[in-house]
Amino acid sequence: MRDIFEVIGKVLVWQLALPTLRVRIREDRPDREIGGLEFEVENGGDKATSLNPTVTASYLSTKREPCTVIFDVREVERNLAPFTPKEFAASAREAQPGRAHGWFRTYTFVPTLGRKCRVRIRNASLEPIGFWRFWVESLWFRATGRVGGGKTSMTMAEYNARQRSKGPH
């Protein structure tokens, strides 16, 4: 019985020691053919890792249909040192003009060592939201075609202030 607890403990320690990515989407511009997706990645673990060369994004179109787009990371040097943020750009494999109006986007980033990182955002303002809120609001959108909950619109001054607060960090 003691051996089982030791094995479970070693597996937990191994899982917790794996690198964890922190990703911030800076820009997703479907109108730009090259480098339309810009993002910042930080390795939150003690071990070095690297980013896989593809990023997958799924979203709901305005007609509430699920869509997927695959991005190719443009940088050849994708190594991620511990606790050092690095900026990347990626290009979509195929043009999707409707992506600009896509709702409930999920970007999936996969490191070579560690767990996947999913960034969930509601709309083009690229504000990340948590898993449960994302799930509930996307179900509501699929059922009714409306986005519910909280303040969903903002003035241009509020939007510009939010964009300035994102900054280059």
Tell me the pLDDT band of 167, cut-offs 50, 70 and 90: low
Q: Where are the domains of the chain?
A: 20-166
Query: Token pair for residue 138?
Result: 């996307």
Tell me the pLDDT band of 168, cut-offs 50, 70 and 90: low
- Summarised one tens digit per residue, pLDDT across range 127-163 is 888 999 999 988 888 888 877 655 556 676 776 777 6
d(CA 49, CA 159): 35
User: What is the CATH number that goes with domain 20-166?
Assistant: 2.60.40
User: Kind of pairing, strands 117-121 and 37-43?
Assistant: unpaired
Strands of the 37-43 sheet, one edge to the other:
21-28, 37-43, 86-92, 66-73, 54-60, 103-109, 117-121
Mean pLDDT of the chain: 83
d(CA 111, CA 115): 7
Query: Do 37 and 25 touch, CB atoms closer than 8 A?
Result: yes
Query: Do 43 and 19 touch, CB atoms closer than 8 A?
Result: yes
Query: Token pair for residue 5?
Result: 């607890």
DSSP state of 140: H
The rounded percent of the chain whose pLDDT value lies above 70 is: 86
Q: Which amino acid is at 73?
A: V
pTM over 0.85: no
3-class SS at 26?
strand
